[in-house]
Chains A and B, each alone.
Chain A
Amino acid sequence: DGGITQSPKYLFRKEGQNVTLSCEQNLNHDAMYWYRQDPGQGLRLIYYSQIVNDFQKGDIAEGYSVSREKKESFPLTVTSAQKNPTAFYLCASSRHQETQYFGPGTRLLVL
């Protein structure tokens, strides 16, 4: 089955803690993306990566970091510098500049 997986489904962060959200795809897509969605809002781009070992900041990269060591994987770390991390995090992938397909999302909550 081809698709995009994200884990965990729910994640709880304590103040001052870094947490990492997983995103894996087996669609052989070159590009991968991380978005943040707040209630009643559209999607805001955090980071994207067009190829392995390369990534670019999106509109709201502050307080987040990523890596792209493998084509299939694009993990997102929410650092302690992100003061308001509670949101729905969505990972997507695409073949070059074509349609983006989304994983099921991770909901991050602050304890």
Chain B
Amino acid sequence: QKEVEQNSGPLSVPEGAIASLNCTYSDRVSQSFFWYRQYSGKSPELIMSIYSNGDKEDGRFTAQLNKASQYVSLLIRDSQPSDSATYLCAVNGDSNYQLIWGAGTKLIIKP
């Protein structure tokens, strides 16, 4: 059974600090990795996708992928209260059409 694991949190971070969210996956052959943000009562929205080892930066967000250790992380710099949400990690499954989802980490940014 392929799995994606995330710490459920909540992760509490002071405003302006760096928030670090982690995700591990079980399938060594996975190739596509995604971070989604979900506000309470809303649908998930894509934050970042990453396919190669290393870092990928987009504004205040940086995704980090380490295939050898089978983990992917998301860093949020200069955290804002509006970043408070649940962050979902997703990894491609057996079929490239299917994603395997983690249960999400709830992030709280304290003013």
Residues 19-58 of A contacting B (Cβ, < 8 Å):
31, 33, 40-45, 48, 50, 58
Evaluate contact between B42 and A104: CB separation under 8 angstroms: yes
- Taking beta carbons and an 8 Å cutoff, which residues of A are in contact with B? 31, 33, 40-45, 48, 50, 58, 90, 94, 96-97, 99-105
Query: A99, B97: Cβ atoms under 8 Å?
Result: no
Q: Would you list 20 pairs from A and B whose C-beta atoms are within 8 A, ordered by A residue?
A: A31-B97, A33-B97, A40-B103, A41-B103, A42-B102, A42-B104, A48-B97, A48-B98, A50-B97, A90-B44, A97-B32, A97-B92, A97-B97, A99-B46, A100-B99, A101-B46, A102-B44, A104-B43, A105-B42, A105-B43
Complex Cα–Cα for A17 and B28 (A): 43
CA distance A34 to B51 in the complex (A): 24
B42 near A94: Cβ-Cβ < 8 Å: no
From A42, A58, A97, contact of B96 by CB (8 A): A97
- Whether B44 and A94, one on each chain, are in contact in the complex, defined by CB atoms closer than 8 angstroms, is no
The CA-CA distance from A45 to B2 in the complex, in Å, is 14
| Residues of chain A within 8 A of B43, CB atoms compared | 90, 102-105
User: Which residues of chain A have C-beta atoms less than 8 A from B88's C-beta?
Assistant: 42-43
Question: What's the Cα separation between A33 and B43 when bound, in Å?
Answer: 14
Of B4, B34, B43, B102, most buried by chain A (CB within 10 Å of CB) is: B43
Q: Decide if B25 is an interface residue (CB 8 Å cutoff).
A: no
